[in-house]
Structure 1
Amino acid sequence: MSDSGEGDVAQMQAMVTRWQTLKTQAEGGEFRLDEQIGRALASRAEQMRSKLQKMADKAGDLAHTSGFGTLGSAQALQAKFARKADSGDDAAVKRLQQSIQVVTLMKETYELAIGKLQESDQSAADKLAALNMGGA
């Protein structure tokens, strides 16, 4: 069962790395998007980030469980559920924060990609205008 958790963590880290690479490419102008598409994608990423943040806020409350009884095994089970919610390596809150990091990178990447396209368009327009003025 821990193998699945480790695989999930590796998969999440791979996504973070992939989006960091795309963000770097967008910063350098290698990755560009149409403005309308980029804005729609950035907006959707922000909506996802907001929903994930609300889920993370609620997940933290899951650490406060009760009704397990007074037996030692019940107390151990209660502690396990609390760790699974917000403090263990595979905790819900930690996983949600990782997802928030990914969608934040996505949003920033989309914004950079449309910004670079706009800069490129403006630069081309400026060059064209300069040529037209020089040729007139």
Structure 2
Amino acid sequence: MSESQSEGAGMQAAVARWQSLKKQAEGGELRLDEQIGTDLARHADQMLKKLNKMMDITVGLDRLSGFGTLMSAEALRDKFGSKANGSDDSAVNRLKQSIEVLTLMSETYNLAIGKLTESDQSAADKLRQLNLGSS
């Protein structure tokens, strides 16, 4: 397996892992302290902004020039262009995968916070009802 294939497999594994964690957060199995989850979600959102800026830059990298008119030069230009945008292991595809992982991370953190907040609110309501009943 080549290095780019193993990196692609690693990104696919990361996507699968965060999809699983997101499902756990949706089901209330994964919970985070509100402040920690908020900080993690904020950091993921900051990274998403940076990756989106990189994506804007990277999209145009497949339009290369200056290689000359020889057939070998054109072949090199096409190869470098596909590394930027066009092949499975291109920079654009790697950025898309990273954006997908960070989006899942942010959503998972926010869901985990929400479930904890819901759980805390539910427990507080039950305690309030118990206190009202004992009066």
TM-score range, shorter chain: over 0.9
User: Corresponding residue for 2:86?
Assistant: 87
SS at match of 1:62: helix
SS at match of 1:88: coil
User: Corresponding residue for 2:11?
Assistant: 12
**Offset from partner CA, 1:3-49 (integer Å, 9 cap, x none):** 11111111100000100011001011111001111011000000111
TM-score, scaled to structure 2: 0.98
User: Corresponding residue for 2:45?
Assistant: 46
User: Corresponding residue for 2:96?
Assistant: 97
Aligned Cα RMSD in Å? 0.8
| Paired residue type of 1:92 | A
Return structure 1 stretches of 4+ with deviation > 4 angstroms: none
Aligned mates of 1:90, 1:10 — CA distance in 2? 11
TM-score, scaled to structure 1: 0.97
**Offset from partner CA, 1:51-87 (integer Å, 9 cap, x none):** 1111111111111111000000000100111111111
User: Corresponding residue for 2:31?
Assistant: 32
User: Corresponding residue for 1:120?
Assistant: 119
Aligned mates of 1:46, 1:81 — CA distance in 2? 31
Question: Can you give the 5+ residue segments of structure 1 that lack an aligned partner in the other structure?
Answer: none
Q: Shift of residue 120 of structure 1?
A: 0.2
